[in-house]
Amino acid sequence: MKPRALLYARVSTADKGQDYTAQLDELQRVADQRGWQVVGQQWDVTSGTKAVRPGLVKLLARCRAGECDIVATVATDRIARSTKNLIDLVDELEALGVELACTREGAADATTPQGKAFRQMRAVFAELERNLIAERVREGLRVRKARGQRLGRPPRLDYKRLGDARQLRASGCSWTAIATQLGGTRGAWERALSRGLIPPTSTAEVLPP
């Protein structure tokens, strides 16, 4: 069964000798050479910096509907507006089981041996980056623990002790001393008292007799 291909072309303007049909004709020739079954064509006449392009939106919708195996365009700058946008696009297509073929760029053509090797290398470096980030996080936690700093979320306040906190504050205690004695953090007690929170009613008071 032949791989199903959607062709995509883009030019910035319809004048100045630019013509998206020339790109589509070139892609059709590549498809014929590689034995692809062309199931559709999409194009845009707009700047590559535009975040939303109607032709590309329709193409991605067809990919999500499972209508193709390959998205073919002549070059990465025809379909992506930045390196990050290209990576995000490739990731989405891969998740859908669709390969991106930039036919003039071997490294960005996932249907060629060079492109497959490039994709594998990108996956290796992405995994390496994730591992490095995780190690930096673990190292930061080790440093904080060695310094005696609290790890994880700060403990919640016992709002039933707001009255105690007010009395301690009125007697001249610092916020740090209040947090040490009652639990929680100094900032949390300072915010709670400044907002004038009322201690919650006990269960015995809210239950019917």
Q: What is the rounded distance in angstroms from the CA atom of residue 124 to the CA atom of residue 131?
A: 11
If asked whether residues 79 and 167 sit together in one domain, one would say no
- Residue whose C-alpha is closest to residue 70's, from 117, 22, 106, 34: 34
For residue 180, the enclosing domain spans 159-201
Domain end point (choices 63, 87, 115): 115
Asked whether residue 91 is assigned to any structural domain, the reply reads yes
pLDDT of residue 17: 60
Asked whether residue 142 is assigned to any structural domain, the reply reads no
Half-sphere exposure of residue 77, counting CA atoms within 13 Å on the CB side? 4
15: domain CATH number is 3.40.50.1390
Is 12 catalytic? The answer is yes
If asked whether residues 188 and 109 sit together in one domain, one would say no
- Helix axis angle for 175-182 and 186-194, nearest 10°, is 100
CA 151 from chain centre, in angstroms, equals 27
Q: What is the rounded distance in angstroms from the CA atom of residue 135 to the CA atom of residue 132?
A: 5
Q: What is the rounded distance in angstroms from the CA atom of residue 77 to the CA atom of residue 47?
A: 10
Domain end point (choices 85, 115, 145): 115
φ/ψ region of 66 (left if φ > 0, alpha if ψ in -120 to 50, else beta) reads left
If asked whether residues 103 and 169 sit together in one domain, one would say no
If asked whether residues 46 and 111 sit together in one domain, one would say yes
Asked whether residue 123 is assigned to any structural domain, the reply reads no
Task: Look at the pTM and tell me if it is higher than 0.95.
Answer: no
| CA 172 vs CA 165, 169, 175, 178, 199: distances in Å | 11, 5, 9, 10, 21
Q: What is the rounded distance in angstroms from the CA atom of residue 177 to the CA atom of residue 134?
A: 35
Count of the separate structural domains present in the chain:
2
Asked whether residue 105 is assigned to any structural domain, the reply reads yes
If asked whether residues 184 and 93 sit together in one domain, one would say no
Q: What is the rounded distance in angstroms from the CA atom of residue 194 to the CA atom of residue 155?
A: 19
If asked whether residues 105 and 45 sit together in one domain, one would say yes
Q: Are strands 99-102 and 70-73 parallel, antiparallel or unpaired?
A: parallel
Q: What is the rounded distance in angstroms from the CA atom of residue 120 to the CA atom of residue 42?
A: 28
Asked whether residue 152 is assigned to any structural domain, the reply reads no
Mean pLDDT by 10 residues, the chain (209 residues): 94 74 95 95 88 91 96 91 83 91 76 66 62 79 73 65 82 82 78 65 38
Domain end point (choices 98, 115, 132): 115
Asked whether residue 71 is assigned to any structural domain, the reply reads yes
Asked whether residue 140 is assigned to any structural domain, the reply reads no
If asked whether residues 107 and 170 sit together in one domain, one would say no
If asked whether residues 35 and 95 sit together in one domain, one would say yes
Contacts of 7 (CB under 8 A, 6+ apart): 24, 27, 28, 31, 38, 40, 41, 42, 72, 73
Asked whether residue 76 is assigned to any structural domain, the reply reads yes
